Amino acid sequence: MTKHPLKKQKRVQPQTEPKDSTCHLTNLPLELLAEILLYTASPKAILSVARCSKFLCLTLLHPRNQYLWKSSRQNCLPTPLPEPCPQFTEAAFVAFVFDAGPCEICGNIVDGFKSYGLQARLCDKPDCKETFRQDKLQDRVFASNHVFEDILPVVESRECFGTPSSFGFSFISSQVWPQTELSNAVFRRSDWTLAHQKFVDASSKPELLGKFIADCQRKSAEKKAYMQMCVSVFAWRKTYSAALRDMKGINTNFSKNLAAKEGLVFWDMVQTPTYAPLLKRKSMALEKIEQSDYNLREAAIATELVKIAERRGRRTHEAGYSARRNAVEKHYNRLRALKQETPLPCLPSFRELPIIHQLQHSNQSDEKMLDKNIQSKPIQNLIRSELAKFHVEAKNSLAEILGLLNWKSPSSKKAHPAERLTAQFRCRTCQRVEAKYRESGCMDYAGVIMHQCAVTLDKSVPAKPFKASRFEKDEKAIAVITTLLKTCGIASDEKDAPKLLSAIGPRISCLSCDAQIVLEPMAVIGHSRRHESMTIALLPQDDANTILSERPLSQGLATKLLNKGSVAVNMRNQKIYTCRHCVQVKPAMPTTGGVSTKSSSETNSAASSSAGGSSSGAATKPATLDSTKSTPAAAITAKSPQQDQPPKADRKPTLYIFDGLRSHLKGLHKITDIRDEDFFCTKELEWPKK
């Protein structure tokens, strides 16, 4: 029997070979390291090496190795650095001269001090200069002779912060210390405030005042040596800046001549990862670039220039392609606005048209010129013919989904199966519809070719061109619209079926609802989603007018009220909405009397006459059809004693705000999606004009 280990075994991670991170400078003998560092033209290089590791720092800061710093300082270009004052070691002096740091106002990194006397780091922004002048500096008070002011460092030169006018000074810019202290000294406010406080504290006791004055005299001598060093460093920095500017010009001219000789683009060459550091390093070290420097790096520079050229070519191509796509989209929006080609497919399908595809992949990079060309008559004719071809293919593919493969008809009055009212589709991918079709929940031919799958929170569906296989027919919508057309006596393949159906008006009664709900003809599709099996009837015009006389339908009102804008919110908060399901109560059903039915032909003829506009005379009794079975149902026509009695009085309407009405419909009538036929307003809403 195998014993299981008591403790869970840990998986051993595969060990990778450690990378060699050893600094080879630490392996060199000190004599060789010193020989290398002595060839540097600036002590800044030794400072950088010393900061590489603790070992190198301790080695180079050892008292025996101070000659390296001194020799490098004396051989510095363009002129030797001045001697440091006694307060500084050689290494500390190099850090004092070359170290970068954050600007005291904005925090941006700047190279060196603006004023070595005040040790002030400041960038060149005017706002930073003004803030520094107001908050950080303290002018000497005239007629003051405080003893502590002799120990405070001052600005070593009036040129430290630029011209006097740019910094708010009114003195000669060429003045240097000690003239800057004699004319109008400028201190750090924090140093002056601290020294003044010490002077005030010492003045309270004579013995402390004497000691304070002695300390000031001793520190005054140290300050003079420090200020002399700062003046010398500032003069050296001016010389170095001028030499650096000249050397940058020399190396830039050499690079331009080199690029012209080699047939290269100058700006591309100086931006390559190989040549750019060379140019910067040589210029900062005040060294000229030689032909040999380029020859050693020629192969690497050539490879990088090829990559730059390829990248620029791709960028140019992408910019031109984007401009051409924008021109196509602009023309597409123009066609939609002018409704010159109706219906239009979605934009991805429009881009797939051969002429549009060719224009998008042409070499034309000027968006305005392409927009002008695309509006020319030859291009417009080509677009029109290709759109016609697209519609033929799209209709045939959708007709195949409807089960009418290879449909053909010689009659021009018969609509294509894909353009009929009985052609209703849903998207297999997203199961969503555009806002225009939200009430019906399905799409006709125009909606299908315009449909683009919605972007959900969990996934993003990229825009795709039209493809019939992404859609399926909506069985329930097709069944109810077929029933509606039969009830109204309109042929399903009639080309003018939408107009004939619209002419009927709100006369469709839903017999599956508990109340007398009257619908617009095309509202039947969306309303049918509430019922498993919906039964409808075509009301006579007088009966429909009786029901809707005081409560007319407001088409599209529910959609407008469900918007998220502030106007819609204000409209919803008005207490003027009433539930039709509570008010439009059905009359009592007869318990005795005969029941007679009309034939389908009689019903259809009556509906056709109603669609043609004849609604007077003998009222047409409602002819009903089951939306799922599509068969005629019985219509009650016989009278009974109860029918002689007045109908049951409507309930007294209860007023709600719109959101309260929605809660009422959901709780009492089990209706979750409010529609125009579910409510009415007791007062006309005044929507703001656009």
**Beta strand pairing call for 535-538 and 623-626:** antiparallel
Q: Are 90 and 66 in contact (CB under 8 A)?
A: yes
| Residue 205, pLDDT score | 82
Query: How far apart, in whole angstroms, are the C-alpha atoms of residue 235 and residue 241?
Result: 10
Q: Which amino acid is at 304?
A: E
| Residue 219, pLDDT score | 87
Please state, in angstroms and as integers, the Cα–Cα distance from residue 163 to each residue in 114, 132, 174, 175, 473, following that order: 13, 15, 10, 12, 81
| Residue 17, pLDDT score | 57
Q: Are 85 and 229 in contact (CB under 8 A)?
A: yes
| Residue 6, pLDDT score | 56
Please state, in angstroms and as integers, the Cα–Cα distance from residue 631 to each residue in 504, 625, 627, following that order: 21, 5, 8
Residue ranges of domains in the chain: 474-681
| Residue 550, pLDDT score | 84
| Residue 319, pLDDT score | 92
**pTM of the prediction?**
0.66
Closest to 379 measured CA to CA, from 362, 349, 359? 359
| Residue 647, pLDDT score | 44
Mean pLDDT by 10 residues, the chain (690 residues): 56 58 80 91 91 92 93 92 92 94 92 90 89 85 68 84 53 64 77 87 84 86 91 93 95 96 95 95 92 95 96 93 92 90 91 94 85 91 94 95 89 91 92 89 94 71 88 94 93 92 92 92 93 92 89 90 91 94 77 35 40 38 42 33 42 86 94 92 84
* CA-atom Rg of the chain in angstroms: 46
